[in-house]
């Protein structure tokens, strides 16, 4: 399982939030000296509301470790649908610094879009590529001055691992993500078009020269000292290789990844003669909050993958 702990050294107590992929969070106040439970604030295992969250056939995903092409162990989770493979696959990615998505915790099980897509017959893969958090400096630092490269290779290797085991239909693989995950989704479609048949890129960073300098320059250096790194790490540099369906989703009031990123990418797509789909939310910020907009977005993403990964062209 997984423990999130906050310690109050003054009182000699701590708050421990403990969960696992098959166990909802339990929140306890404990003694900081010996860990003895002093009071249970909440126990998700006895909360009747938990059963109503997500689709009725919600599962705890399967945790696996698979090798990259150069032998680095990668942690992944499988939301496996009913029946026998190979299945169409949708990769759910983030892939950037400071985030770990795969671990034995309840947050993984509560990826409700993954659960829903699984209920529709897709195998959903979640993989922490190099650049992700909590695997050490070397693992996270693999993206230094070269974003959008090793992350793509690692996501490809996750798909190939599924194909080699008869779990994935190699002709029907899609990918989606938001923010850094939107960037990585677009980069996977453009840099690995033989692996990824389609992508949904939500609020994607399209070029690191247009994102927060305190973030971009921490990993990429400055554009002046690393011009080639910035060029090859931009989605626009790889647009000519893009050939599968692409859905862009963005809130036009996004205060984090400004809408300008999608606008620049659209300009590059238009100039290259590439087709794409786009879903815009004029009143939304970095993540849609309005209920109607959320429903609209989820339905659009669902329909995009059902159409793009159909068993036969023109079917769903």
Q: Which residues are catalytic?
A: 179, 254, 286
- Render the burial of 294-315: b for 16+ CB within 10 Å, e for the rest: eeebeeebbebbbbbbeeeeee
- Spatial contact of 108 and 54, defined as CB atoms under 8 Å apart: no
Cα(275)–Cα(134) distance, integer angstroms: 38
Residues with Cβ within 8 Å of residue 230, at least 6 apart in sequence? 207, 208, 209, 220, 223
């Amino acid at each position: 399982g997984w423990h999130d702990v906050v310690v109050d050294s003054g009182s000699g107590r701590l708050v421990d939030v403990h969960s696992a992929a098959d166990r909802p969070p339990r929140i306890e106040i404990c003694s900081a000296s010996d860990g003895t439970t002093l009071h249970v604030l909440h126990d998700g295992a006895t909360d009747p509301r938990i059963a109503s969250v997500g689709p009725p056939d919600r599962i705890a995903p399967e945790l696996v470790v698979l090798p990259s092409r150069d032998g680095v162990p990668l942690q992944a989770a499988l939301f496996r649908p009913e029946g026998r493979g190979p299945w169409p696959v949708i990769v759910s990615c983030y892939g950037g610094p400071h985030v770990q998505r795969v671990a034995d915790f309840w947050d993984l099980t509560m990826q409700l879009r993954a659960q829903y897509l699984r209920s529709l017959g897709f195998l959903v893969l979640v993989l922490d590529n190099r650049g992700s958090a909590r695997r050490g400096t070397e693992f996270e630092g693999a993206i230094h001055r070269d974003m959008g490269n090793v992350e793509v290779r690692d996501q490809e290797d996750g798909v190939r691992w599924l194909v080699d085991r008869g779990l994935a239909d190699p002709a029907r693989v899609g990918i989606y993500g938001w923010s850094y995950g939107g960037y990585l989704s677009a980069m996977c479609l453009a840099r690995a078009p033989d692996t990824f048949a389609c992508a949904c890129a939500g609020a994607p960073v399209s070029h690191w020269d247009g994102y927060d300098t305190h973030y971009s320059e921490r990993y990429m250096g400055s554009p002046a000292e690393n011009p080639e790194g910035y060029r090859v790490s931009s989605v626009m540099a790889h647009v000519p290789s893009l050939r599968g369906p692409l859905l862009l989703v963005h809130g036009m009031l996004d205060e984090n990844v400004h809408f300008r990123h999608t606008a620049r990418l659209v300009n590059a797509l238009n100039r290259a003669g590439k087709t794409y789909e786009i879903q815009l939310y004029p009143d939304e910020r970095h993540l849609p909050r309005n209920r109607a907009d959320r429903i609209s977005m989820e339905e659009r993403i669902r329909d995009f993958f059902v159409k793009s990964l159909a068993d036969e062209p023109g079917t769903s």
